[in-house]
Chain A
Amino acid sequence: MKSTSRLRWLQLALLLLTLLGFLLSLKLGPVKTSLAEIFHAITSGKSELTDIILGLRLPRALLAYLVGACLSLSGAILQGYFRNPLADPFILGASSGASFGAVLSLQLGLALNLAGLSAQSLLALLFSLLLVSSVYLISERRRFQTTESLLLTGIAAGALASALTSFLLFRRADAYEQAVFWLLGSFSLADWQQVWLILAALVLAVLISQYLARDMNLLSLGDETARSLGCPVRSVRRVFLLLATLLASFSVSVAGIIGFVGLIVPHAVRLIIGPDHRQLFLHSALAGGLFLLVSDLLARLVLTPSELPVGVVTAAFGAPFFIYLLNRPRSS
């Protein structure tokens, strides 16, 4: 099948499945609802279900979708950046920094709220950005920064942050349960302010990454070749790294650490429509949204009335799918 027709099929499938995903997310839950009731709740604005649909289920579904899109776009950017299909949004330590911030805030017992972000989220965001920026600055101190030095510094710094997090948890075992939220991810605290915040970050990142998508195609050939073809490698690399980091950090700060989305979704989309980043960025975002929307739905339903952390679902469904994709017979 030609790649343009594959693209059309993917778009159609994404559209239909996403609509279905949102519909089911609004419909299913501890309180049983019919489609007519959902429609009435949204349009009238004051039925009994309005609070549940508009106050809980819709923002939650939207946030799951947006975070999925952010993580997946971040992964697509970093896989191109490192020329490595195994890169993911947390490869430079964004998640380790965020867990440290979140656990620190739990231990300090901070309580505040800014633009929909709790003290936990704010500290997670702060430490996530702080960690990745220090990784970048440390590796840039070398006169000729290479992506390898950046990658290795990121892994080392992430390990350090994880050690500090474990230390904090070890000292105060009572904070452990709350900390699991950060380690495995959840959308149970979603609200509209978070939705708007993540939406704004995502729209901005999609526009910029789309604008620079051709440069990412060039970067994926190697820096020398990219430069020889006219790409201002250094500045383009900076912008992409900033985008990927902001996307990952904002995602972690509202939803905790959700693995696998940013790794497998861009990879799967690339297998379907090819490596051209002009299509890959946008469609990875759309597919990542769908993937996390469905994962969160399952996280809510599998053990009703209690909930699974969504990270468990993404790993449980993502990993076998990924293994299948990697080992499927190649069509020629």
Chain B
Amino acid sequence: MKFLSVENLEAGYGGPPVISGISLELEPGEFLAVCGPNGSGKSTLVKAIQRLTPWLRGKITVHGRNLFELRTRQIASLLAYVPQVFEPVFDFSVEETVAMARYYRQPGRLAGFSERDRAAVEEAMKLTDVFELREKKLNELSGGERQRVLIARALAQDTPVLLLDEPSSHLDLNFQLQVYRLLQELQKDRGKAILVAEHNLNLAAAYCSSLIFIKDGKIIARGRPQELLEKDLIRKTFGVEVEVRTNRSTGLPEISLVHPGPGRGLIQTGAAVRDAEEEER
């Protein structure tokens, strides 16, 4: 039996479903990235697995337990979700924010923080390198620091699975690498199963053990980065012309955009892709 298994998932926000027919599996120690163009449904997929979308159908099991039969707090002990970095409304400190992960890991609403809770919060802050910032307010942090705080909170939740919604957005190169290195450590050293929605293909290929390409709410390919970073598949998914090379220092594949020549834009729309395909025929 697979660890996390999603079957025939359909999800949306009230209108037509944003994603449909999604099936995937995730093992402990696996780092899976869902990639696709804007609006393809990658963020919706990550949210749907945690049952966060307003409309949802299909089957999700973790450890063989049906997520639809579990209470919210039970789900929170299996899956942790890291949202995109947002502007906080109220001035909570870093430590207060991370500690919120423990509220529903306690026996009752009025229970105080146990030694175990405190240890989990401290460890999560140290792992993500925000321990020194613990008394600062979220509003005083940079985007990268805030992202690490959100990851710390998910870690303090102490779940076997981490779901992240575009953890690299709003971050500069240095912070993107920091965040992905951290995730890779968690995957390798702690055996966490990690699923990210990611728009940066090179970043995903460099750090994730496998990729899923999603377009118009449907999975169109799944495999190791070496298998998926392929010219035709990327044109089909993203509508762009790329060149795939091997990174000399890592040996991993990476893409670079190709200028398609005079008169045509660097990025092609879906219609342009279809035209080009017809021309080839």
Contacts and interface: CB of A to CB of B under 8 A. Distances in A.
A232 B72 contact: yes
Contact of B96 (A84, A85, A144, A276): A276
Interface in A48-98: 80, 83-85
A275 B55 CA distance: 32
Contact of A229 (B88, B96, B104): B104
A227 interface: yes
A225 B97 CA distance: 11
A150 to B, nearest CB: 15
A141 interface: no
A239 interface: no
Contacts of B157: 229
Interface of B: 13-14, 47, 50-52, 54-55, 71-73, 75-77, 79-81, 83, 86, 88-93, 96, 100-101, 103-105, 109-110, 140, 153, 157
User: Most chain-A CB neighbours within 10 Å: which of B81, B92, B100?
Assistant: B100
B275 to A, nearest CB: 38
Contact of A232 (B55, B71, B88): B71
Given A220-B89, A222-B86, A275-B90, A228 B104 contact: no
A140 to B, nearest CB: 13
User: Most chain-B CB neighbours within 10 Å: which of A80, A224, A230, A274?
Assistant: A230
Given A227-B72, A229-B157, A230-B73, A217 B100 contact: yes
Given A214-B103, A229-B103, A224 B81 contact: yes
A222 B104 contact: no
Contacts of A225: 81, 83
B14 A222 contact: no
Nearest to B79: A228
A85 B72 CA distance: 28
In the complex, which range does the number of interface residues on chain A fall in?
A: 20 to 34
Contacts of A214: 100, 103, 109
A318 B89 CA distance: 23
Contact of A230 (B93, B104, B110): B104
A144 B54 contact: yes
Contacts of A144: 13-14, 54-55
17 contacts: A84-B89, A85-B90, A143-B54, A144-B54, A212-B109, A214-B109, A224-B83, A227-B51, A227-B52, A228-B76, A228-B79, A229-B104, A230-B73, A230-B103, A231-B72, A270-B90, A275-B90
Nearest to B150: A225
B155 to A, nearest CB: 13
B203 to A, nearest CB: 23
A218 B83 contact: no
Given A211-B110, A224-B83, A275-B90, 16 more contacts: A83-B89, A214-B100, A225-B83, A228-B50, A228-B76, A229-B76, A229-B100, A229-B101, A230-B73, A230-B105, A231-B72, A231-B103, A232-B71, A232-B72, A274-B93, A274-B96
Given A212-B109, A225-B81, A275-B90, A231 B52 contact: no
Contacts of B47: 224
A228 B81 contact: yes
A224 B157 CA distance: 15
A11 B121 CA distance: 29
A220 B138 CA distance: 13
A227 B100 CA distance: 12
User: Most chain-B CB neighbours within 10 Å: which of A143, A220, A275?
Assistant: A275
A296 B153 CA distance: 45
User: Most chain-A CB neighbours within 10 Å: which of B50, B83, B89, B91?
Assistant: B89
Contacts of B79: 228
B44 to A, nearest CB: 11
A221 interface: yes
User: Most chain-B CB neighbours within 10 Å: which of A84, A214, A215?
Assistant: A214
A220 B104 contact: no
A221 B100 contact: yes
A221 B91 CA distance: 11
Given A217-B100, A229-B76, A222 B109 contact: no
A11 B100 CA distance: 25
Interface in A149-165: none
A211 B109 contact: yes
Nearest to B101: A229
> Lowest 7 CB-CB distances: which A-B pairs, in order?
A230-B104, A230-B76, A275-B90, A228-B81, A230-B73, A144-B54, A83-B89
Contacts of A230: 72-73, 75-77, 103-105
B100 A222 contact: no
Nearest to B73: A230
B80 A228 contact: yes
Contacts of B55: 144
Contacts of B80: 228
Contacts of A222: 83, 86
B7 to A, nearest CB: 21
Contacts of A232: 71-73
Contacts of B91: 274-275
A143 B13 CA distance: 10
